[in-house]
Structure 1
Amino acid sequence: MTGQSLLLIDGFNLLSRAHFATSYNRTDDQLKNSKGMYTNALRVFYQKIFNLIRDHRITHLSVVWDVKRDETARRKKYPFYKATRFELPEPLIHQYETCKAASDAIGIHQISLSPYEADDLMGALSKKWSGGDCYIYSNDHDLFQLLSETTSQIIAGKQGEYVYSLSHFQADYGIAPEQWVDVKALLGDSSDNIPGCPGIGEKSALPLIQHYGSLERIYENIEQLEPGLSRLKKKLIQGKETALLSRELSQITCDIAELDPLLMDDLKVSIRKDVLGEWLEQMELKIRIDSYGA
């Protein structure tokens, strides 16, 4: 199956970034077409998908969506998880609903599955894929734990987009991707309301995992921490419970039995150009529909 490549798109990550980037300092009316429908994020969303297909010669594609926050397994078990997040703005909600319906009609594969989050589905699909390169399009650094010889992440930076590979990660952090969850367990994540280990910051978390390899090994050696790390002993002991809890919340679930029946051939790029053209005209969106090269 040479010459094939899979693109997994974190749907909400792309759509929300597209919305906020194009709505800043603009009035509500400027986000709509002449029919009063919000379109500012949709234009960026679809143009980006077609550009990614073209630039990375994508043969298989899935847009992965989160389910409602309260439906996730993590939230059901720990109600504080993501409890500090703001509600989505109305224009974004409207465009999400439009996007879901349009993608079905256009022929873009989509998936969401309760009680899993988009990260879990991307993890499971990337592990299931065996056809060649896999690209994950998201700015979420939690996904670094999914990097491998064949799986890379496409990240949008200030200087443009770049492909972040396993070798880049190893050069930057000096650990394996599967150890990234232990770093996150110590750091926590304020955006997801994950507590981490209080008092352990970026300058301490990575060296701890680089030296000991895992959270378990840190606590196995807690009474004789290496010089330079021994000053962290009290904080680590006091924060052990929340660190272990944070790792549970940060660990991406890649073993999802419900996806076993899914055929990767179902993800083949098969855009219905006629339907897409009609929809773009109806929505008054100017996008080059030949840009994806299919």
Structure 2
Amino acid sequence: MDNHTLLLIDGFNLLSRGYFATSYGRSDDQLSKTKDGVYTNALRVFIPKLFSLIREHEVSHVAITWDVKREETDRRIKYDFYKATRGELPMPLIEQFLTLKTVLEEIGIAQLEMSPYEADDLIGTLSNKWSHSIQNKCYIYSNDRDLLQLLNEHTSQIIAQKTGEIIYSIEHFNNDYGIHPKQWVDVKALLGDSSDNIPGCPGVGEKSAIPLIQQYQSVEELYENMENLDPKFNRYKKKLIAGKDSTIISKELSAIMIDIPHFEDYTFEDLKLSINEDNLTNKLQELEIRIRR
């Protein structure tokens, strides 16, 4: 598969960022809609961005990954506090999510959603399999920094910043953190994640979590060496001991699956880019959206 490039988009990450960026300070009535009253403020971000990414990165294979309902995920089934603090979504965002899924299906863009897994697990499994079997470029499009644990020599993450997008590679990661991307989950185990209600180790922040993993390689190794902890970390010793259980659980919750059994014999044929041009034209007219091809 020479010159084949896989694009994996964290669907709700992009859709919700588009929605909140264009709805801030506005009532539902002030959001952009078609003449038929269909909300489009988030779709006006998502659809042009999708085709921009395909064009800019010469993508041959693409998939939009979606989360299943929170209550269906294996993490939530095991730990009921996981993502328990998240509120209800605005109705115009839900409506655009449903509209988008229909549009993508009709124009021929692959979408993946599989209970009890989350979108991150699908991205993890597909990027891992592509890296090993196809061994060509894979781009993950998301601002979710949990996904940094998936970076490798073939896989990079496209991250949107105020100054523009950056293609964040394994080299960037190594330079910034001095650890391997696979160890990012150990850093996350200590830090936790308030947006997902993952507790981490209370009292341990990024300034200490990264040096701890740089020195001890993993949270398991860290706790095995707790009796002989380097004196420079003594101020965190009591916090680390008190937070051991929540740290271990936080690692379990933060670890992205890279081997969902369903994809064991996956060939990526279903992700090959094949746009239905007529349907695309019709849908763009319906939604009153323009894109550059």
Please state which band the TM-score falls in when normalised by the shorter chain: over 0.9
Partner residue of 1:195 out of 183, 188, 199: 199
Contact 2:142 2:159 in 1 (8 A): yes
Gaps of 5+ in 2: none
Aligned to 1:5: 5
RMSD: 1.0
Matches of 2:238 and 2:210, distance apart in 1: 18
Matches of 1:105 and 1:8, distance apart in 2: 19
- Is it true that 1:272 corresponds to 2:273 in the alignment? no
> How far is 1:261 from its partner?
4.6
Match for 1:10: what amino acid?
Answer: D
Matches of 1:258 and 1:33, distance apart in 2: 39
Aligned to 2:70: 69
Alignment of structure 1 residues 207-286 onto 2, 5 Å: 207-286=211-290
Worse-superposed segment, 215-224 or 21-30: 21-30
Contact 2:48 2:290 in 1 (8 A): no
Matches of 1:143 and 1:88, distance apart in 2: 23
Match for 1:29: what amino acid?
Answer: D
> How far is 1:201 from its partner?
0.8
Deviations 1:218-238 (A, max 9, x none): 111101111211221111111
Aligned to 1:99: 100
Matches of 1:25 and 1:204, distance apart in 2: 37
Contact 1:120 1:253 in 2 (8 A): yes
> How far is 1:19 from its partner?
0.6
Match for 1:276: what amino acid?
Answer: L
Matches of 1:58 and 1:282, distance apart in 2: 26
- Is it true that 1:178 corresponds to 2:182 in the alignment? yes
Matches of 1:263 and 1:205, distance apart in 2: 39
Matches of 2:42 and 2:107, distance apart in 1: 17
Contact 2:159 2:168 in 1 (8 A): yes
TM-score when scaled to structure 2? 0.96
Contact 1:43 1:287 in 2 (8 A): no
Deviations 1:75-120 (A, max 9, x none): 0000100000111110110000000111000000000000000000
Alignment of structure 1 residues 37-76 onto 2, 5 Å: 37-76=38-77
Matches of 2:128 and 2:177, distance apart in 1: 22
Deviations 1:97-152 (A, max 9, x none): 00011100000000000000000000000011133100000000000100000000
- Is it true that 1:83 corresponds to 2:87 in the alignment? no
Deviations 1:204-229 (A, max 9, x none): 10000001111111111101111211
Worse-superposed segment, 220-229 or 256-265: 256-265
Matches of 2:79 and 2:246, distance apart in 1: 12
Runs (4+) of structure 1 moved beyond 3 Å?
Answer: none
What SS class does the counterpart of residue 281 from structure 1 fall into? helix
Matches of 1:14 and 1:127, distance apart in 2: 22
Question: Identity of counterpart residues, as a percentage?
Answer: 62
Partner residue of 1:138 out of 127, 138, 142: 142
Contact 1:224 1:230 in 2 (8 A): no
Match for 1:208: what amino acid?
Answer: L
What SS class does the counterpart of residue 228 from structure 1 fall into? helix
> How far is 1:287 from its partner?
2.4
Deviations 1:224-275 (A, max 9, x none): 1112112211111110000000000000111111123543021111111110
Gaps of 5+ in 1: none
Matches of 1:237 and 1:7, distance apart in 2: 41
TM-score when scaled to structure 1? 0.96
Aligned to 1:115: 116
- Between Structure 1 and Structure 2, how many residues are aligned? 289
Match for 1:71: what amino acid?
Answer: E
Deviations 1:32-84 (A, max 9, x none): 11111111111210100100011111110000000010000000000100000
What SS class does the counterpart of residue 156 from structure 1 fall into? strand
